[in-house]
Amino acid sequence: MQNTELFIKRVKMDNWTAALLTGVACIVGYLVVRVKKINSLRQAEEKIKRARNRRDESLQRAEQAVLRYKQSHPTTDSAFILTLSLSELTQQLNEGLLRPEDVLYSYMEKTLAVNKKLNCCTEILLESLDQLTTVGSNKDGLLYGVPVSVKENITFKNHDCSCGVVINLDQPAEKDSVLVQVLKKQGAIPFVRTNLPQALLNYDCSNPIYGQTVNPHNPQKTSGGSSGGEGALIGGGGSLLGIGTDIGGSIRIPASFCGICGFKPTAGRLSLQGLRPIYRGQKSVSSSPGPMARDVDSLALCMQALLCDHMFSLDPTVPPLPFNMEIYRSSRPLRIGYLESNGYTHPSPSMARGVREVKALLEQAGHTLVPYCPLKMDQTIPELFLKGVFADGATTLLQKLEGGPVDPCLEPQVFPCGFPKWLKKTISFLLKPLWKQHAAVEVLSADDAWSRMKDYIQETIAHWRSCNIDVLLCPVTGPAYNFLYCGKLLTAASYTMLYNLLTFPAGVVTVSTVTTKDEEELKNYKGCYQDMWDKLFKEAVTGGEGLPVAVQCVALPWQDELCLHFMKEVEQLVKESKK
């Protein structure tokens, strides 16, 4: 510093010289930052390339293994195996009519074919082939010999758990998650990991590492997210049972978009150990792992298998509540609340029609249906849910995305997160006339938000009981969106977000498909607020003729079996109505 001062005095710099040196310093500083960013992006590209190479290698080796097996076992009837329901498959495996290797190779072959069309897999678990030699030791397991697909954010020993974020690559897990350990103990064979959106906080299914997953019913539509790889793979026939996770509809929305069944249990019912979150320590809105499958019986069997002593032993924080089969198989009439609209996001015509048609079937079957309206939705979604998830102002999210590309599906959410608070408030004020769904938002402290959340849960339970209902029938977001709308329409997932906030168990059952009449009615869609979000939602679901339509079934916390029973009743009544 002294040498610098002497130098300045010695040359007697004038103002022009000082300005020139300042300018040079700024340019040098900019170049240093720029070089660092370029190096960081180059490192990210190299990480992505390695991850893609690992995926491609696993796919190629799986193809070779399938080919060798088919050549040595030409009589294996894969087509027949793929038609079996999970219940039928487990029965044939237990009776020795089918062998686990025949089933695994049949589903592996189908998965490889589906992945080529939908880009739904992040890697084939080649160790599943080795598991065939030991699976006989778990022959008494409820899922003996069943191939299971698993979402990429659930840890497997020696495999990355990227969550679609570059910074998480090249960090293989040291051990299996609790759920994977329990699946293996029950005789299941986890054989493939499935795609998800970058950072999980989106209900599309695209990331810069593995790309965009598309819908099995229309490749011009998204599969949904964040468990979109599972939804696409199961909907495309490549898996009959998968494990996803759900923090705002991440199981239920892909189930709706892809025409399958999905179940989000009560928060805390299944172990979270080994599930990699983006927001570690975020407890305002809990994530829930859960099953996804072709039918409700498969969901129930999976829950029964997971809710066992082995899980309770591995994770003592999980309440030791085994699956209550008596409640699931109950035949008593139900008192069912229902709603077509939550008053915050107006449903698409097919969403509302799905609820109306199921309501009529339930009434014909002897159940009692009563109107129900959720409380304070205009405050709850923007204030409690969104601020609960992004309680740190999205600081953690931005840190996770540093040094790597941001996926186009996430850009609309990430872009404003870097703004200073004063600018966010100013923009929010200026946009109120156009984005009325944010008009009720106010700034709350973390303590106040947490207190209001707990109060809201108790208010909702009291309201539920005042209506004297057992379960609730309501819409689920759908039909499947056009690409690049999910990031712009975060609050349109309000139908699913609410039950994460409340910690209620909730599941989705496919009941219909979008009709020509639905598309005609959509042309007159106005929404609840007639704002930009309502216009975007209309654009997002346009062109959905033939796509699946689903409904959502909900119960009070810890009444998971009752929720599944209600889902089964809906499924059965819809099936009978189509005969």
Cis peptide before 149 (omega within 30 of 0): no
Q: Does 425 qualify as catalytic in the annotation?
A: no
Query: Is 200 annotated for ligand binding?
Result: yes
> Which residue is catalytic, options 110, 151, 488, 568?
151
Looking at the DSSP assignment, which residues form a beta bridge with residue 242?
149, 292
Distance from C-alpha of 572 to C-alpha of 54, rounded to nearest angstrom: 43
The tokens 């946009």 sit on which residue? 431
Q: Does 9 qualify as catalytic in the annotation?
A: no
AA identity, residue 208:
P
Q: Does 330 qualify as catalytic in the annotation?
A: no
The tokens 């039909």 sit on which residue? 479
Going 240 to 228 to 119 to 189, the CA torsion angle's sign is negative
Query: Is 249 annotated for ligand binding?
Result: yes
Distance from C-alpha of 357 to C-alpha of 515, rounded to nearest angstrom: 14
> Which residue is catalytic, options 78, 106, 226, 512?
226
> Which residue is catalytic, options 106, 162, 223, 250?
250
CB neighbourhood size of 407 (10 A)? 23
Contact 203, 197 (CB under 8 A): yes
3-state SS, residue 548: strand
φ and ψ at 221, to 5 degrees? -120, 160
Contact 482, 220 (CB under 8 A): yes
CB neighbourhood size of 1 (10 A)? 5
Distance from C-alpha of 201 to C-alpha of 498, rounded to nearest angstrom: 15
Burial (0-12, 13-18, 19+ Cβ within 10 Å), 210 = buried
Query: Is 242 annotated for ligand binding?
Result: no
Query: Is 248 annotated for ligand binding?
Result: yes
Query: Is 229 annotated for ligand binding?
Result: no
Query: Is 281 annotated for ligand binding?
Result: no
Q: Which residues are annotated as a binding site for substrate?
A: 200, 226, 247-250
Binding residues: 200, 226, 247-250
Q: Which residues are catalytic?
A: 151, 226, 250
